[in-house]
Structure 1
Amino acid sequence: MSSMIVLGWRELAALPGLGIAAMRAKIDTGARSSALHVESHWSYVEAGAPWVGFRLRPRRGSALVEAAAPVFDERWVTDSGGHRTRRLFIRTVLSLAGTEREIEINLADRRGMRFPILLGRTAVIGAFTVDPARSFLHGRLRRRASSV
């Protein structure tokens, strides 16, 4: 077995196919699927296939990013509070700790959460292991210097 990359319980992740260079991600092996916070989303058809357009804010105070992707699936997801909702899933490239891999991620309202992206075990299995006592092992977002 090849050695796996160690992640902390929170890391910086990018979704380059969606135009997202870096955002804070919570790594949650207790969650099966991954979730991406979107401010709004809309469905449409392109070339006979279902697509979803959406807007998200990668970081607090950052500009809204608009992206679109083919709908990969739609299924029921149960959140940590036991609430079931029907969510759209897309497939996109995750860039994490110097590695890129395609993952499934659902579009969700994570407005009350501290992390705009949650990476579940299906996104990390086979490539990463998680040390829950550590965080940001592969870089941090730099805070902007405030103007005086």
Structure 2
Amino acid sequence: MQTVGWREKVHLPELGLHDIPAKIDTGARTSSLHATVLDQFERDGEQFVRFAVDFPGVNVRQVCEAVHIDWRGITSSNGETQRRMIIKTPLRIGDVEFRAEISLADRSDMRFPMLVGRSSLRRHFVVDSGHSWLQTPGMDPVKGHKP
């Protein structure tokens, strides 16, 4: 298994999203992506969702489509349970790519637009919480405490 730091840049290649700053969070079961749901529709008998991912620092909005696989009650760090839409799409961290279930949520008040939870990490990675960017090419690995 490979080692990840407490933050990494990740990729969702089927959605056209690359270099997304993500917090690696073993306390969260499900991964989460900051997104605004725009539309739900059916295509070839499958349920889809169209959503927007905003990158405010560079004023970019990426519109994505994915198969909508489920609705789940997700309990946030403040103890609130929200009903969230779940998609399943390839997730790449470093050289490792696998399919991950990701909830779509409003993370606008969070520092990272994506959170990678323990279900995605299982069988792929171990986490070194004292380091950052261990699987992020072009970023120098950082040793030390979280800011």
TM norm. shorter chain > 0.5 = yes
How many Å separate the matches in 1 of 2:39 and 2:82? 16
Equivalent residues of 2:67, 2:87 under 8 A apart? yes
Offset at 1:43? 1.1
How many Å separate the matches in 1 of 2:69 and 2:36? 20
TM-score, with length taken from structure 1: 0.88
Q: Select which of 35, 38, 61 maps to 1:38.
A: 35
Match of 2:109 in 1: 112
How many Å separate the matches in 2 of 1:39 and 1:74? 15
TM-score, with length taken from structure 2: 0.88
List alignment gaps of at least 5 residues for structure 1.
143-148
List alignment gaps of at least 5 residues for structure 2.
140-147
Describe the shift of the 1:141–1:37 C-alpha distance in structure 2 as closer, same or farther (beyond 3 A): farther
Asked if residue 20 in structure 1 is aligned to residue 17 in structure 2, the reply is yes
Per-residue CA distance 1:68-125 (angstroms, 9 max, x = gap): 0111111111100011111110000001011100000010000000111000000010
Equivalent residues of 2:35, 2:52 under 8 A apart? yes
Asked if residue 60 in structure 1 is aligned to residue 66 in structure 2, the reply is no
Task: Indicate the percent of aligned positions where both proteins have the same amino acid.
Answer: 38
Describe the shift of the 1:22–1:59 C-alpha distance in structure 2 as closer, same or farther (beyond 3 A): farther
Equivalent residues of 1:40, 1:56 under 8 A apart? no
**RMSD of Structure 2 on Structure 1 (CA):** 1.6
Equivalent residues of 2:36, 2:104 under 8 A apart? no
Higher mean alpha-carbon deviation, 53-62 vs 26-35, is at 53-62
Q: Select which of 120, 123, 126 maps to 2:120.
A: 123
4+ residue runs over 4 A deviation: none
